[in-house]
A and B are shown apart, each in its own frame.
Chain A
Amino acid sequence: NAGVTQTPKFQVLKTGQSMTLQCAQDMNHNSMYWYRQDPGMGLRLIYYSASEGTTDKGEVPNGYNVSRLNKREFSLRLESAAPSQTSVYFCASTGRHNKNTGELFFGEGSRLTVL
């Protein structure tokens, strides 16, 4: 009953280092999302993938890249980390929209600190 799994849960980076956050879902969902959560700002969409093979920018894509590796996996990469990217990152997924769905299923988050 895993749902959405994110790794790592915690990471400390130095400015300029790179890293990849991994996300996998086992619910056969088409769409996947990466959000960041910052105090007083709620969740802001970084990138999303409406279906396998497609990715699109959200509200705050600068400094990030994504890969939809297959239907299950959607990774988020920071090529050159900056202190402004210190945040909690959430991956989410959802099935094809109909009136009975629309719900996003979230992972437990990855807390990233950039020094």
Chain B
Amino acid sequence: AQSVTQPDIHITVSEGASLELRCNYSYGATPYLFWYVQSPGQGLQLLLKYFSGDTLVQGIKGFEAEFKRSQSSFNLRKPSVHWSDAAEYFCAVGDLSGGYNKLIFGAGTRLAVHP
């Protein structure tokens, strides 16, 4: 069965520091991978996605993620964090059989940013 593991429940970084959020997945075929962000009291917004091709994908708000098949990982990175990046981040793997998208989400990583 597909699953997603986000090992870090909470992460705190200083503004301007670099960030890496970890994500490991379990999926039988080539995975479709996503990172979503949820600001307090809001729904989820797509940051970036990986379907195929270049394993380093760029997203919105200066985020990027790298797909590593050998490690079953899809870690999210940002070189310099801004206070507005404080939010909860969810990694997801997509089951796209049947022509529609059914996402399996990780438990999330809550990011706090210190000034």
A-to-B contact residues, CB < 8 Å: 4, 30-31, 33, 35, 40-45, 48, 50-51, 58, 90, 92, 94, 96-97, 99, 101-104, 106-109
11 contacts between A and B (CB under 8 A): A31-B100, A43-B103, A45-B104, A94-B101, A96-B99, A96-B100, A97-B101, A99-B52, A103-B101, A104-B101, A109-B43
Q: Which residues of A contact B49 (CB under 8 A)?
A: 102-103
**A109 to chain B: which residues have CB within 8 Å?**
41-43
Complex: chain A residue closest to B95, CB-CB: A45
B11 within 8 A of A: no
The chain B residue sitting closest to A111, CB to CB, is B41
Q: Which of B94, B98, B101, B104 has the most CB of A within 10 A?
A: B101
**Which residues of A have CB within 8 Å of B63?**
none
B90 / chain A contacts, CB cutoff of 8 Å: 42-43
Q: For the complex, is B17 an interface residue (Cβ under 8 Å from A)?
A: no
Taken together as a complex, chains A and B put the C-alpha atoms of A112 and B2 apart, in Å, by 28
CB distance from B55 to the nearest CB of A (A): 16
B67 in the interface, Cβ–Cβ < 8 Å? no
Interface residues on B, range: 20 to 34
Known: A43-B90, A99-B51, A99-B52. A33 touches B46 (CB 8 A): no
B43 close to A107 (CB less than 8 A): yes
Known: A42-B106, A43-B90. A97 touches B100 (CB 8 A): yes
Cβ of B74 under 8 Å from chain A: no
